[in-house]
Amino acid sequence: MKQNGKINIHGPNLCQKMEDNMKLLLVSPLASKSFLGGDFYFRLPYLGLLKVASLTPPNWDVSIIDEKVESLDLTQGADLVGITAMTPAVNRAYEIADSFRSRGIKVIMGGMHVSKMPDEALRHCDSVIIGEAERLWDKALNDCKRDELKSIYRHDNEYPSLANFPAPNWKLYEGKRYLPVHFLETTRGCPHNCEFCSVTNSFGGKFRNRPVDEVEREIQDLKPFEGRFVLKNVVFFVDDNIISNRKHTKELLSRIIPYNLKWTGQASVNIAKNNEILELCKKSGCMGLVVGFESLSQGNLANMGKTFNTPDTYIDVVKKLHDYGIGVTGAFVFGFDHDDESVFDRTIEFVIKAKIDVCYFSILTPYPGTRVYSQMLQEGRIIDHDWSNYNTNHVVFKPKLMKPEKLLDGFHHALKESFSYTAIFKRLWGNGTYKNFFYPMNFGFRQTVRKTIKNKQHFSYEEDPDS
């Protein structure tokens, strides 16, 4: 409760309605063990909390602390604390929540992990927003002011419309030591529902597109980065598939041509079949796309439900994107049921031969809510329940065709070999893609890989006598 403009953190009804502005602190916790979470080279701004901030009424003073780039003072005052968390950061999120609550400050949690594990989260916080904050956040804030916070807020049956979104206020991130990139979202949802992916079970099985006018307005308001950066106007489209709806994609890409952006995003292999979209990508400043190849095994692709991926066409997909000057970040996952120990060398050979600009390797990780999580639980194959290890560079389950240790060693071997200086030059040489984007990115990954291998996981699971 605020008295004479000061925050009394020990007041009994901290969220009671009052005349003064209330103080909301939003926190993005650091996933200390994460490959891409806590490392200097991937200090990326988090869009989710900016969206939550943008949905907050003006009678709240909002600040955001992202532990990736700054430290969090756990003794500070606030009327309400909102915490986000992906699975590998959730242990830290719970620590933070416990700490604020021990001083009587209310805590609301949201994001991918707690949306799937609300009961677990409620042991550490007062309230959980399940799914998207739009249309729920203002209700929760109002309830909070009246001291009537409910434990769970969820959408009835529908996913919220993406029209009339308030634009994120990037000023909230000013002065923070992020890499110079703006994140922007044009679509949510995905019909593919791949067995390991959290997107369909979180955002639904249909693509929902934002009105192009609103996206364009958001782009107009972005301020190019100042200072020593070579690339000053970089945007990362967080959409899981930039070609979700071809008509929407074409309109969007045509509209953004005049803004001289340099952008990256994610797309399925199907983009290679659409010359018109590739041309628009090129014209609108696309530097590169993350493409989910996932596996070189048709058996794995069939199991995961991604049969539109056909490994014998992958090289042509990469070549086609390179023809348009678009670099390819190739995403591969190791540890599927058809993967034996030969998968690593085959993949290394492939990424070099195909001249993949950046290799994005992950160990299969059963995230709550996914089909692979239910399967692993049912088959009793989960060997590690510590969420901080669910970061795609630890082995938390028993693979079918190799020992967990072999999966980890093979993953490290693949990373080391693909990010050796020789491999980097072999992959990038002659691609015609953005050198001052892909070379630094590869060298950044190389540093991260070295740290990942140095902090190697130690196993302590019980041997199954039958295996």
Check binding of 200 to ligand B12 (CB under 6 A). Answer: no
Q: Determine the Cα–Cα distance for residues 293 and 309; give it in Å rounded to an integer.
A: 7
Q: Determine the Cα–Cα distance for residues 165 and 396; give it in Å rounded to an integer.
A: 38
Give 87 or 303: the residue with its C-beta nearer to ligand B12. 87
Q: How far does Cα 425 stand from its chain's mean position?
A: 28
Residues 34-73 that bind ligand B12 (CB under 6 A): 34-37, 42, 44-48, 51-52
- Closest CA relative to residue 144, chosen from 77, 80, 64: 80
Residues 4-33 that bind ligand B12 (CB under 6 A): 31
The minimum distance between CB 275 and ligand B12, in angstroms, equals 26
What are 236's strand-pairing partners? 183, 264
- Closest CA relative to residue 109, chosen from 151, 70, 139, 148: 151
Structure tokens at 385: 């329940």
The minimum distance between CB 202 and ligand B12, in angstroms, equals 6
- Closest CA relative to residue 213, chosen from 243, 185, 255, 183: 255
Query: Per-residue x/- marks for ligand B12, 394-423, CB under 6 A?
Result: ------------------------------
Give 254 or 374: the residue with its C-beta nearer to ligand B12. 374
- Closest CA relative to residue 265, chosen from 184, 180, 170: 184
The minimum distance between CB 119 and ligand B12, in angstroms, equals 16
Instruction: Tell me the number of residues near ligand B12 by CB under 6 A.
Output: 42
Q: Is 111 left (phi over 0), alpha (psi -120 to 50) or beta?
A: left
Cβ atoms 109, 153 nearer than 8 A? no
Query: Per-residue x/- marks for ligand B12, 378-397, CB under 6 A?
Result: -------------xx-----
H or E segment and range at residue 38: none
The minimum distance between CB 276 and ligand B12, in angstroms, equals 25
Virtual CA dihedral for 127, 104, 144, 46, nearest 10 degrees? -60
- Closest CA relative to residue 261, chosen from 323, 186, 174: 186
Q: Determine the Cα–Cα distance for residues 459 and 406; give it in Å rounded to an integer.
A: 11
Query: Per-residue x/- marks for ligand B12, 100-129, CB under 6 A?
Result: --------xxxxxx---------------x
The minimum distance between CB 195 and ligand B12, in angstroms, equals 11
Query: Per-residue x/- marks for ligand B12, 70-99, CB under 6 A?
Result: ------------xxx-xxxx----------
Query: Per-residue x/- marks for ligand B12, 277-306, CB under 6 A?
Result: ------------------------------
Q: Determine the Cα–Cα distance for residues 244 and 241; give it in Å rounded to an integer.
A: 5
Residues that bind ligand B12 (CB under 6 A): 31, 34-37, 42, 44-48, 51-52, 82-84, 86-89, 108-113, 129, 132-134, 137, 183, 185, 197-199, 238, 240, 362, 367, 391-392
